[in-house]
Every structure is written in structure tokens, then in C-alpha cells.
Amino acid sequence: MSPQALIDRLDSLEKAFADEIAPLSSEQDIRAAQARFLGKKGAVSEVMKQMGKLAPEDRKAVGQVANRVKASVEGEVARKLGELDEAARAADLSREVDVTLPGRARPRGHDHLLSQVRRDCVAIFTELGFDVAEGPQVETDWHNFEALGTGKDHPARDMQDTFYVGPDLVLRTHTSPVQIRTMLAEAPPIKIVAPGVVYRRDDDATHSPMFTQLEGLLVDREVRFSDLKGVLVHFVRRFFGQELDIRLRPSYFPFVEPGAEVDMQCAFCRRGDSGCRVCKGTGWVEIGGAGMVDPVVFEHVGYDPEAWTGFAFGMGPDRMAMLRHGVGDIKLLYDADLRFLRQF
């Protein structure tokens, strides 16, 4: 082809391109048209391949036209895409929105029953001036047992009850080691509650291998057993919102002396109805253990047993939850069944 024929061909391609994209209205179509003209096998490229056969001065003249046509094609593409963008934005702005339509309801969760009970329990004690303390769930043998007066031969250390993690490490079997950690870290007076998860090798309708406890410890000068009883009865009445009584039955825990088991009046039937499934007709329900801190514990943490006195208690918030809401099986608290949990 002669140089002029090539130039004419390029000029006609420029016009053809303008005609081709004029009616297009999608980015995809426009890009495809661009490729048909400027792509490796596109019409403009085909013309340029023939330039090699031209004399050098002709090649320059044709090359200039080719570059102009390329630039014009690219300019057209950019302009056309800009138009499309503008049109989309305008359509978006003119869309009518009915602001009076009701919103879309989003599902809302809430705290787990046990979290609610734990919060309520802790709040009753913080009202009384107790601080909240915490400790690890994997505990040393010394904190969990030894420092609490539970020697190596004590039945509570039986493999039946305790999950051992290592020769000297256990999953804590109660929250009482938090008493030890708190007293080691702070000087008396002490006034704390320690809510938390504990573990025992137990598994039936009223026992779960993992359950929660709420520990209490108060250390000061001349603390009396009646102080302990006063705090416990206040707690039970505040938690259940009823004038319930408590009963302290002599019992043994290695870290208190004297020690007691704490019963509360049945929140369900209140006096022991023969058919009551909660107290089984006795009128009383056990909610935990308590007692006066044994001097041997003070010795382990370096407190002077002659100068300091204290009381401690450990309660089961799981039990509290079951009692307050009439839940018959402790497993329901840990199964994560939403049909159950949604009710609270």
C-alpha cells in the first residue's frame, strides 16, 4: 500500500471508531471496541505493521498520523467512560428514598444467664465495699491445696476429684486459691470477692465438670463469725428479693476453723412442701461453704495470726441461677442451647 493509502486508511479508522462507540453504554462494550482498534490484532495495529515496508521519510509521515489516531481513540474512550460515570452518579442522586419506611430490625443478643447472675452477685458485694479479684484457672498445687491447709494425704486431692495438668499443676478445684494470691500480693485489711470457673471430675444432673464459684474473703482486726453470717444473710435476701433465712451447719474445710456449710431457705416453697422439687421437702438448699480463716492459712501467706482475723466463703452462682429461675439441670447452663438461653 502507498503511504497515502495508509494515511487514508488511518483517517477512516478514526471516524469509524467514533461511529462505533457512539451508541455504546457499558464500560465492557467500550473496552471491547477499544481492543478491536488498538489491540495487538486491532485495525490500527494491522496498518502499522505495514509501515516497515515504507521508505524512512514516508514512515515518519504515516507514523505521525498513526500516533494521532491512537491518541484520539484513547481520548474518545476516556470521554465516553467519563460520561457513563456521570450518568450513573446522576441516577443515584435522583433516586427517591422513602425516609418514613420502618427500619430493618437486627437480632439482638444479651448476656448469658450465668453472666447475669455473676454480675448481680458481684454487685451485691461491691455495694458492701468488696473489691473484685481474679486468679488463673490452671493453678499450682501449692495455691490450690497446700497453702489452704490441704496436705498431700487429704481426700480432696484424690484423682477422682481433681484434673491434673502436670505433677504440680491442676485445673483449680475451687476459687479459694484466689484468697492465697490476694493475701500474698496485698497487706491486710482485705475485702474481696472472686468469681470464676472451677473444675472437678463430677458429672450428673446437679454436677458439671466445669462450674462457677464466688469466693469471698474478709480479713481485718477482730472479725467475728456473726459478721460472716450477717454478710451471707444480706446477700441471700438481696439476691432473691425475699426475706429468706440462712442456716450454718458445722462442717470441715481445711482452710477455715470453725467451718460451716451454708444453707438457705428454699426460695421456691419457702417452708418445705412435700412436693417441692428444689428442696425435696426439707425447706433448705445448700449454697456453699464458709468459715473463719484458719491461722495456718495466715502463716502460709505471712500474716500474723495473732493480729489478724477473717472469714471466707465460697458459693455456687450456678446453684443461684438454678434456684432463682427454677432450672432443673445444670447442663442447660453450659449447653449453649439458644432455645433455653433466650428465655432469660
The identity of residue 68, as a single letter, is R
Residue 76 and residue 17 in contact, taking contact as beta carbons nearer than 8 Å:
yes
Q: How many residues interact with ligand PHE (rule CB under 6 A)?
A: 11
- Least Å distance, CB 127 to ligand PHE, is 21
C-alpha cell of residue 4? 497515502
Q: Please choose, from the candidates 327, 300, 321, the residue with its C-alpha nearest in 3D space to the C-alpha of residue 239.
A: 321
Q: Which is nearer to ligand PHE, 29 or 257 (CB)?
A: 257
- Least Å distance, CB 236 to ligand PHE, is 16
- Least Å distance, CB 128 to ligand PHE, is 17
Q: Does 316 bind ligand PHE (CB under 6 A)?
A: no
C-alpha distances in angstroms, 278 versus 118, 212, 234, 256? 21, 19, 22, 28
Sorted by sequence, the CB contacts under 8 Å of residue 195 that are 6+ apart come out as 118, 121, 122, 132, 134, 175, 212, 213, 214, 215, 317
- Cβ-count burial 311-332 (b if 16+ within 10 Å, e if not): bbbbbbbbbbbbbbeebeebbb
- Least Å distance, CB 237 to ligand PHE, is 20
Q: Does 290 bind ligand PHE (CB under 6 A)?
A: yes
- What are the phi and psi torsion angles at 343 (to 5°)? -75, -10
Q: Does 289 bind ligand PHE (CB under 6 A)?
A: yes
C-alpha count within 13 angstroms, C-beta hemisphere, residue 55:
5
Of 186-194, 230-238, 288-296, 336-344: span binding ligand PHE (CB under 6 A) = 288-296
* Position among 43, 312, 321, 330 found at the interface with ligand PHE (CB under 6 A): 312
Q: Does 300 bind ligand PHE (CB under 6 A)?
A: no
Number of Cβ atoms within 10 Å of the Cβ of 131: 13
Q: Does 162 bind ligand PHE (CB under 6 A)?
A: no
According to CB under 6 A, which residues from 238 to 257 bind ligand PHE? 253, 256
Q: Does 291 bind ligand PHE (CB under 6 A)?
A: yes
Of 124-132, 160-168, 307-315, 330-338: span binding ligand PHE (CB under 6 A) = 307-315
- Least Å distance, CB 226 to ligand PHE, is 16
Contact residues for ligand PHE (CB under 6 A)? 174, 176, 253, 256, 259, 289-291, 312-314
